[in-house]
C-alpha cells in the first residue's frame, strides 16, 4: 500500500501514519508548510499532479475538488468530494470513479455509530473565518459602500486575524466616533445563536432581516424550506447587509438560501446581489474553502483528527467508519449511474424527435 498526498495536504505529521509505507507529497506553491518540513519526517517530494501516475493501490489524500476533466479515476481518493448531496457535476464525478475502478472515500462522511461526523475540524475553523470575514465586509460597507470588498490573503494565526478585524473596527470608530466601538464591545448581547430547536419549524425566517450580519453554518442533509427568499430581501426594511454562508450549499438543489447561486473566492470574496427595487446593499460571502484563511491552525487540527482513520486504512473493509464511507459511495454511485442513464435516454429521444421533425420539414418542402 502507498499513501500519496495531493496539493496543499495539511498532514505535516503524516509520517506517523506511514507505518512502513512510503509517503509521497506533491510540490505546491500553495502550502503553509514547506517541502523541507515533509522531507525531514521521511516523505518523498514528487512533482505536482503526479498522483495520476501513482500505483493503483495508492491512497490519494487531498482536501478539495479534483481537476475538472473526463479522465477516469483509478485510485481510492480521500478528500471532500462534495458529490453526495446532488451538487453540480456530482454524477459525472462518480462516473469517472466507476470508469477507472477508483473510489471516493469522502472525509465528510466519516461518522460514528450515531451518525456524528468524526473529522469535522474544518467546520469550526470555517465558522471562525466566515465570522471574521463578515465583520470585515460589514466594516467595508460602512466606509466604502460603493466599492466591492477587496481580495483577502491567509492569516498565519487566529490572533493575526482578530487583530486585523479590530483594526477595521477602529477605522470606523475614527470615522464615526467612539460610540461605534462601544456598540461593538457590547455586541455579544446582540448575537443570536440558533440551533435546530429554533429552525425545526421551517423557514422562511423574517427575524433574520433584523440583524446586520447573518452567518449560515447548517449541515444540510435534505431538502428544507428556505431560510430567506428573494421577495423578503428585496426591500429597504431590513438591517441585513451581509450574509456569510459558511455551509456554502449554493450549488445544491436543496440550497436553503436560494437568493444566490454563485461561489466566491479569496480573490473576489463577496457577491453583491441585485436587490431591485431595494437600494440597500446585500453582500454574500460564499467561499467553500474558508479554513484556508487560517491554513496552519486548520491544518494542524484537521490532521490530528484524520490521522487515526488513516491508521485504519489496512482494515478499511471491516473498520466500521470506513465501511460506512464505502457504503455511502456505492449508494450514491448507483444513483449517479441511474441518473445518467435516464438523462441519456431523454437526450436520445429528444434527438430522435428533432431528426424526425427535420425530416418531415424537408419532405413538406419537396
Stronger pLDDT, 43 or 358, i.e. the higher one? 43
Q: Give the model confidence (pLDDT) of 235-258 as tens digits.
A: 999 999 999 999 999 988 889 999
Cell of 68: 475538472
Architecture of domain 24-118+296-356: 3-Layer(aba) Sandwich (3.40)
SS3 of residue 105 by DSSP: strand
Any idea which residues carry the catalytic annotation?
Answer: 64, 82
Residue 274: Cβ within 10 Å count: 8
Cα three-residue angle 202-203-208, rounded to 5 degrees? 130
CA distances from 22 to 94, 267, 321, 363 (A): 28, 36, 24, 68
Annotated binding residues, as ranges? 199, 246, 287-290
| H-only helix segments in the chain | 15-18, 35-40, 90-100, 122-143, 158-176, 178-185, 196-199, 230-233, 295-311, 320-365
The rounded distance, in Å, linking the Cα atoms of 154 and 354 is 52
Contact partners, residue 34, CB within 8 Å, separation at least 6: none
Q: Give the model confidence (pLDDT) of 164-174 as tens digits.
A: 988 888 887 66
Q: Give the model confidence (pLDDT) of 132-169 as tens digits.
A: 999 999 999 999 999 999 999 999 899 999 899 888 88
CATH pick for 122-294 out of 3.50.50.60, 1.10.3720.10, 3.40.1400.10, 3.40.50.720: 3.40.50.720
Query: pLDDT confidence of 329, banded at 50, 70, 90?
Result: very high
Rounded to 5 degrees, φ, ψ at 216 are -100, 120
Topology match between the domains 24-118+296-356 and 122-294: yes
Decide: 87 and 254 in contact? Cβ < 8 Å: no
Contact partners, residue 157, CB within 8 Å, separation at least 6: 294, 296, 297
The rounded distance, in Å, linking the Cα atoms of 62 and 80 is 8
Annotated binding residues for NAD(+), as ranges? 199, 246, 287-290
Query: pLDDT confidence of 317, banded at 50, 70, 90?
Result: very high
Global confidence as pTM? 0.76
Decide: 24 and 5 in contact? Cβ < 8 Å: yes
The rounded distance, in Å, linking the Cα atoms of 300 and 204 is 38
Can you give the residue ranges of every domain in the chain?
A: 24-118+296-356, 122-294
Amino acid at each position: 500500500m502507498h499513501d500519496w498526498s495531493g496539493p496543499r495536504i495539511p498532514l505535516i505529521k503524516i509520517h506517523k501514519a506511514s507505518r512502513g509505507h512510503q509517503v509521497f507529497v506533491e510540490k505546491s506553491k500553495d502550502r503553509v508548510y514547506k517541502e523541507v518540513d515533509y522531507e525531514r519526517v521521511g516523505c518523498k517530494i514528487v512533482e505536482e499532479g503526479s498522483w495520476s501516475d501513482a500505483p493503483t493501490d495508492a491512497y490519494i489524500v487531498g482536501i478539495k475538488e479534483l481537476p475538472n476533466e473526463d479522465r477516469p479515476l483509478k485510485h481510492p481518493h480521500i478528500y471532500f468530494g462534495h458529490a453526495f448531496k446532488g451538487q453540480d457535476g456530482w454524477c459525472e464525478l462518480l462516473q469517472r470513479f466507476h470508469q477507472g475502478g477508483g473510489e471516493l472515500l469522502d472525509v465528510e462522511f466519516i461518522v460514528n455509530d450515531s451518525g456524528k461526523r468524526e473529522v469535522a475540524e474544518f467546520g469550526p475553523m470555517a465558522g471562525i473565518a466566515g465570522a471574521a470575514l463578515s465583520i470585515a465586509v460589514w466594516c467595508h460597507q460602512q466606509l466604502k459602500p460603493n466599492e466591492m470588498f477587496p481580495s483577502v490573503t491567509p492569516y498565519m494565526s487566529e490572533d493575526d486575524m482578530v487583530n486585523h478585524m479590530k483594526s477595521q473596527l477602529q477605522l470606523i470608530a475614527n470615522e464615526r466616533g467612539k460610540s461605534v466601538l462601544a456598540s461593538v464591545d457590547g455586541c455579544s448581547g446582540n448575537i443570536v445563536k440558533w440551533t435546530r430547536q429554533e429552525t425545526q419549524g421551517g423557514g422562511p425566517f423574517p427575524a433574520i432581516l433584523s440583524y446586520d450580519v447573518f452567518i449560515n453554518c447548517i449541515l444540510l442533509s435534505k431538502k428544507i424550506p428556505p431560510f430567506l427568499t428573494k421577495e423578503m430581501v428585496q426591500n429597504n426594511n431590513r438591517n441585513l447587509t451581509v450574509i456569510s454562508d459558511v455551509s456554502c450549499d449554493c450549488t445544491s438543489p436543496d440550497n436553503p438560501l436560494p437568493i444566490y447561486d454563485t461561489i466566491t473566492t479569496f480573490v473576489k470574496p463577496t457577491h453583491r446581489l441585485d436587490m431591485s427595487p431595494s437600494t440597500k446593499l446585500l453582500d454574500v460571502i460564499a467561499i467553500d474553502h474558508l479554513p484556508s484563511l487560517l491554513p496552519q491552525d486548520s491544518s494542524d487540527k484537521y490532521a490530528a483528527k484524520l490521522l487515526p482513520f488513516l491508521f485504519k486504512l489496512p482494515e478499511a473493509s471491516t473498520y466500521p467508519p470506513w465501511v460506512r464511507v464505502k457504503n455511502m459511495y456505492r449508494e450514491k454511485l448507483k444513483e449517479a449511474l441511474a441518473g445518467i442513464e435516464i438523462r441519456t435516454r431523454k437526450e436520445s429521444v429528444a434527438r430522435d424527435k428533432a431528426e424526425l421533425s427535420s425530416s418531415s420539414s424537408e419532405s413538406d418542402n419537396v
